[in-house]
Amino acid sequence: MLVAPESRPFLRRSRFAALLGLMCMEGERCMAKLTYSMFTSLDGYAEDGHGGFGWGAPEDEELHSYINELASSFGTYLYGRRMYETMVYWETAHTVRDQPQFVLDFARQWQAAEKIVYSRTLAEPRSARTRIEREFDPGAVRRLKADAEHDITVDGPELAAQAIRAGLVDEFQMIVCPVVVGSGKRFFPDGVRLNLELVEERRFRKGVIVLRYGSAAHRREGGGTSPANRGARACGDRSRARALRTRR
Protein backbone atom coordinates (compact mmCIF):
# COMPACT_ATOMS: atom_id res chain seq x y z
CA MET A 1 0.00 0.00 0.00
CA LEU A 2 1.43 3.37 -0.93
CA VAL A 3 0.19 6.51 0.56
CA ALA A 4 0.04 10.20 -0.08
CA PRO A 5 3.46 11.85 0.07
CA GLU A 6 2.11 14.39 2.57
CA SER A 7 1.04 11.74 5.08
CA ARG A 8 4.00 9.50 4.15
CA PRO A 9 2.26 6.17 4.73
CA PHE A 10 2.47 3.08 2.53
CA LEU A 11 1.63 0.96 -0.58
CA ARG A 12 1.70 -2.55 -2.24
CA ARG A 13 2.54 -6.51 -5.16
CA SER A 14 3.80 -9.16 -8.00
CA ARG A 15 5.87 -11.30 -10.11
CA PHE A 16 6.43 -13.23 -6.88
CA ALA A 17 2.76 -14.08 -6.44
CA ALA A 18 3.30 -17.47 -8.02
CA LEU A 19 5.90 -18.33 -5.39
CA LEU A 20 3.32 -18.12 -2.62
CA GLY A 21 0.02 -18.03 -4.49
CA LEU A 22 -2.65 -20.48 -3.52
CA MET A 23 -2.33 -23.47 -5.76
CA CYS A 24 -4.86 -25.04 -8.06
CA MET A 25 -4.80 -27.84 -10.54
CA GLU A 26 -4.63 -26.92 -14.20
CA GLY A 27 -8.10 -26.10 -15.51
CA GLU A 28 -9.42 -25.47 -11.99
CA ARG A 29 -10.53 -21.95 -11.03
CA CYS A 30 -8.32 -20.45 -8.32
CA MET A 31 -9.42 -18.46 -5.32
CA ALA A 32 -8.03 -14.93 -5.08
CA LYS A 33 -5.33 -14.30 -2.49
CA LEU A 34 -5.90 -11.81 0.35
CA THR A 35 -2.74 -9.94 1.38
CA TYR A 36 -2.09 -7.70 4.38
CA SER A 37 0.73 -5.27 3.64
CA MET A 38 1.91 -2.40 5.81
CA PHE A 39 5.00 -0.54 6.89
CA THR A 40 6.01 -1.50 10.40
CA SER A 41 8.53 -0.20 12.90
CA LEU A 42 11.29 -2.39 14.29
CA ASP A 43 9.23 -2.80 17.46
CA GLY A 44 6.23 -4.04 15.51
CA TYR A 45 3.91 -1.03 15.19
CA ALA A 46 2.04 -0.12 12.00
CA GLU A 47 1.01 3.20 13.55
CA ASP A 48 2.73 5.13 16.32
CA GLY A 49 1.06 6.38 19.50
CA HIS A 50 -0.12 9.54 17.74
CA GLY A 51 -1.73 7.63 14.86
CA GLY A 52 1.07 8.53 12.47
CA PHE A 53 2.99 6.35 10.06
CA GLY A 54 4.89 8.97 8.06
CA TRP A 55 8.14 7.27 9.08
CA GLY A 56 7.15 4.46 6.70
CA ALA A 57 7.09 6.37 3.41
CA PRO A 58 9.08 4.81 0.53
CA GLU A 59 11.50 7.63 -0.16
CA ASP A 60 13.60 6.02 -2.89
CA GLU A 61 12.65 4.91 -6.37
CA GLU A 62 13.85 1.32 -5.90
CA LEU A 63 11.60 0.65 -2.90
CA HIS A 64 8.62 2.50 -4.38
CA SER A 65 8.95 0.59 -7.66
CA TYR A 66 9.15 -2.71 -5.79
CA ILE A 67 5.97 -1.87 -3.88
CA ASN A 68 4.32 -1.03 -7.22
CA GLU A 69 5.32 -4.49 -8.40
CA LEU A 70 3.87 -6.15 -5.34
CA ALA A 71 0.65 -4.18 -5.81
CA SER A 72 0.29 -5.05 -9.47
CA SER A 73 -1.75 -8.20 -8.81
CA PHE A 74 -4.35 -6.42 -6.66
CA GLY A 75 -7.77 -5.84 -8.13
CA THR A 76 -9.52 -4.83 -4.89
CA TYR A 77 -8.48 -2.77 -1.86
CA LEU A 78 -10.24 -3.15 1.51
CA TYR A 79 -10.03 -0.05 3.73
CA GLY A 80 -11.35 1.40 6.93
CA ARG A 81 -12.36 5.03 6.78
CA ARG A 82 -9.12 6.54 8.03
CA MET A 83 -6.90 4.55 5.69
CA TYR A 84 -9.22 5.30 2.77
CA GLU A 85 -9.05 9.02 3.47
CA THR A 86 -5.25 8.76 3.34
CA MET A 87 -5.14 6.64 0.20
CA VAL A 88 -7.70 8.63 -1.77
CA TYR A 89 -4.83 11.00 -2.56
CA TRP A 90 -3.99 8.58 -5.38
CA GLU A 91 -7.27 9.38 -7.14
CA THR A 92 -5.81 12.72 -8.21
CA ALA A 93 -2.06 12.15 -7.77
CA HIS A 94 -1.56 12.21 -11.55
CA THR A 95 -2.66 15.86 -11.62
CA VAL A 96 0.26 16.97 -9.44
CA ARG A 97 3.02 18.54 -11.51
CA ASP A 98 6.41 16.89 -11.95
CA GLN A 99 5.47 13.55 -10.43
CA PRO A 100 8.10 10.88 -11.16
CA GLN A 101 7.03 7.98 -13.35
CA PHE A 102 7.02 5.42 -10.54
CA VAL A 103 4.50 7.58 -8.63
CA LEU A 104 2.30 7.92 -11.71
CA ASP A 105 2.46 4.15 -12.22
CA PHE A 106 1.06 3.46 -8.77
CA ALA A 107 -1.61 6.14 -9.19
CA ARG A 108 -2.84 4.37 -12.33
CA GLN A 109 -2.84 0.99 -10.56
CA TRP A 110 -4.82 2.38 -7.64
CA GLN A 111 -7.34 4.18 -9.82
CA ALA A 112 -8.00 1.03 -11.85
CA ALA A 113 -8.68 -1.15 -8.78
CA GLU A 114 -11.96 -1.61 -6.93
CA LYS A 115 -12.15 -0.13 -3.43
CA ILE A 116 -14.38 -1.26 -0.56
CA VAL A 117 -14.52 1.09 2.43
CA TYR A 118 -15.86 -0.17 5.76
CA SER A 119 -17.35 2.79 7.61
CA ARG A 120 -20.50 3.53 9.61
CA THR A 121 -20.17 7.28 9.07
CA LEU A 122 -18.78 7.90 5.59
CA ALA A 123 -21.64 9.14 3.41
CA GLU A 124 -20.11 9.15 -0.07
CA PRO A 125 -16.85 7.91 -1.58
CA ARG A 126 -14.38 10.38 -3.04
CA SER A 127 -13.05 8.06 -5.72
CA ALA A 128 -14.32 6.03 -8.65
CA ARG A 129 -14.79 2.24 -8.42
CA THR A 130 -15.56 2.58 -4.71
CA ARG A 131 -18.39 1.31 -2.55
CA ILE A 132 -19.10 1.68 1.16
CA GLU A 133 -19.99 -1.19 3.49
CA ARG A 134 -21.21 -0.50 7.02
CA GLU A 135 -19.83 -3.70 8.58
CA PHE A 136 -16.92 -6.04 7.90
CA ASP A 137 -18.52 -9.36 6.97
CA PRO A 138 -16.03 -12.27 6.85
CA GLY A 139 -18.49 -14.38 4.86
CA ALA A 140 -18.81 -11.68 2.21
CA VAL A 141 -15.01 -11.42 1.96
CA ARG A 142 -14.76 -15.21 1.52
CA ARG A 143 -17.25 -14.98 -1.33
CA LEU A 144 -15.27 -12.10 -2.81
CA LYS A 145 -12.11 -14.21 -2.71
CA ALA A 146 -13.94 -17.04 -4.46
CA ASP A 147 -15.34 -14.80 -7.19
CA ALA A 148 -12.62 -12.19 -7.76
CA GLU A 149 -10.53 -12.26 -10.93
CA HIS A 150 -7.58 -10.57 -9.20
CA ASP A 151 -6.03 -10.61 -5.76
CA ILE A 152 -7.24 -8.53 -2.81
CA THR A 153 -5.43 -6.47 -0.20
CA VAL A 154 -6.55 -5.31 3.22
CA ASP A 155 -4.92 -2.13 4.53
CA GLY A 156 -4.69 -0.73 8.03
CA PRO A 157 -4.05 -2.64 11.28
CA GLU A 158 -7.59 -2.43 12.65
CA LEU A 159 -9.37 -3.78 9.58
CA ALA A 160 -6.60 -6.30 8.99
CA ALA A 161 -7.04 -7.56 12.56
CA GLN A 162 -10.61 -8.57 11.75
CA ALA A 163 -9.51 -10.37 8.59
CA ILE A 164 -6.67 -12.13 10.46
CA ARG A 165 -8.94 -13.30 13.26
CA ALA A 166 -11.39 -14.62 10.66
CA GLY A 167 -8.61 -16.65 9.02
CA LEU A 168 -8.88 -14.79 5.72
CA VAL A 169 -5.32 -13.53 5.18
CA ASP A 170 -3.09 -15.61 2.90
CA GLU A 171 0.02 -13.44 2.81
CA PHE A 172 1.64 -10.90 5.13
CA GLN A 173 3.96 -8.26 3.70
CA MET A 174 5.95 -6.50 6.43
CA ILE A 175 7.90 -3.49 5.21
CA VAL A 176 10.19 -3.05 8.19
CA CYS A 177 11.58 0.45 8.76
CA PRO A 178 14.64 1.23 10.91
CA VAL A 179 12.71 3.15 13.56
CA VAL A 180 11.42 2.37 17.06
CA VAL A 181 8.20 4.21 17.98
CA GLY A 182 7.48 2.76 21.42
CA SER A 183 3.69 2.47 21.25
CA GLY A 184 0.72 2.55 18.91
CA LYS A 185 -1.20 -0.03 16.86
CA ARG A 186 0.66 -3.25 16.25
CA PHE A 187 1.04 -4.85 12.85
CA PHE A 188 -0.39 -8.10 14.28
CA PRO A 189 -3.39 -8.06 16.64
CA ASP A 190 -3.01 -9.30 20.20
CA GLY A 191 -4.05 -12.84 21.05
CA VAL A 192 -3.50 -14.33 17.60
CA ARG A 193 -1.17 -17.28 16.91
CA LEU A 194 -0.14 -18.02 13.31
CA ASN A 195 2.16 -20.52 11.62
CA LEU A 196 3.84 -18.66 8.78
CA GLU A 197 6.38 -19.55 6.10
CA LEU A 198 8.95 -17.07 4.78
CA VAL A 199 8.39 -16.46 1.07
CA GLU A 200 10.84 -13.66 0.42
CA GLU A 201 13.27 -11.32 2.16
CA ARG A 202 14.58 -8.23 0.39
CA ARG A 203 16.79 -5.40 1.63
CA PHE A 204 16.79 -1.80 0.47
CA ARG A 205 18.82 1.30 1.04
CA LYS A 206 18.37 3.22 4.29
CA GLY A 207 17.84 0.01 6.23
CA VAL A 208 14.36 -1.00 5.00
CA ILE A 209 13.69 -4.76 4.78
CA VAL A 210 10.63 -6.33 3.14
CA LEU A 211 9.54 -9.65 4.65
CA ARG A 212 6.84 -11.68 2.93
CA TYR A 213 5.22 -14.55 4.81
CA GLY A 214 2.57 -17.00 3.69
CA SER A 215 0.01 -18.65 5.93
CA ALA A 216 0.95 -22.30 6.35
CA ALA A 217 -2.72 -23.20 6.85
CA HIS A 218 -3.78 -21.56 3.60
CA ARG A 219 -0.95 -23.20 1.67
CA ARG A 220 -2.15 -26.59 2.89
CA GLU A 221 -5.77 -25.84 2.05
CA GLY A 222 -4.89 -24.42 -1.34
CA GLY A 223 -2.50 -27.18 -2.32
CA GLY A 224 0.74 -25.47 -1.38
CA THR A 225 3.93 -27.36 -2.09
CA SER A 226 2.97 -30.70 -0.60
CA PRO A 227 4.06 -33.79 -2.60
CA ALA A 228 0.49 -34.44 -3.69
CA ASN A 229 0.32 -31.02 -5.30
CA ARG A 230 3.76 -30.51 -6.81
CA GLY A 231 2.15 -30.73 -10.23
CA ALA A 232 -0.29 -27.99 -9.36
CA ARG A 233 0.00 -24.59 -11.02
CA ALA A 234 0.34 -21.45 -8.92
CA CYS A 235 -2.34 -18.85 -9.57
CA GLY A 236 -1.82 -15.94 -7.20
CA ASP A 237 -1.01 -13.82 -10.23
CA ARG A 238 -3.48 -15.03 -12.87
CA SER A 239 -1.98 -13.17 -15.79
CA ARG A 240 1.41 -14.75 -15.10
CA ALA A 241 -0.15 -18.20 -14.79
CA ARG A 242 -1.92 -17.79 -18.12
CA ALA A 243 1.33 -16.65 -19.75
CA LEU A 244 3.14 -19.70 -18.41
CA ARG A 245 0.45 -22.01 -19.80
CA THR A 246 0.66 -20.28 -23.19
CA ARG A 247 4.43 -20.71 -23.37
CA ARG A 248 4.06 -24.38 -22.51
pTM attached to this predicted model:
0.79
Interaxial angle between packed helices 61-71 and 101-112, expressed in degrees from 0 to 180 and rounded to the nearest 10: 20
Q: How confident is the model at residue 128 (pLDDT cuts 50, 70, 90)?
A: very high
Evaluate whether residue 248 is within a structural domain. Answer: no
User: Rounded distance, CA 96 to CA 81, Å?
Assistant: 24
The CATH number that applies at residue 125 is 3.40.430.10
Evaluate whether residue 26 is within a structural domain. Answer: no
Evaluate whether residue 241 is within a structural domain. Answer: no
Evaluate whether residue 57 is within a structural domain. Answer: yes
pLDDT digits (tens, 9 = 90+) for 50-92: 988 877 776 789 999 999 999 999 999 999 999 999 999 999 9
User: Rounded distance, CA 214 to CA 196, Å?
Assistant: 6
Evaluate whether residue 134 is within a structural domain. Answer: yes
Task: Identify the pLDDT of residue 242.
Answer: 39
Q: Can you give the residue range of the structural domain that contains 172?
A: 31-209
User: Rounded distance, CA 15 to CA 25, Å?
Assistant: 20
Evaluate whether residue 116 is within a structural domain. Answer: yes
Give how many domains the chain has, as a whole number. Answer: 1
Provide the pairing of β-strand 171-176 with 209-215. Answer: antiparallel
Task: Identify the pLDDT of residue 217.
Answer: 67
pLDDT digits (tens, 9 = 90+) for 148-194: 999 999 999 999 999 999 999 999 999 999 999 999 999 999 999 99
Q: Are 199 and 33 in contact (CB under 8 A)?
A: no
| pLDDT surpasses 90 at 9 | no
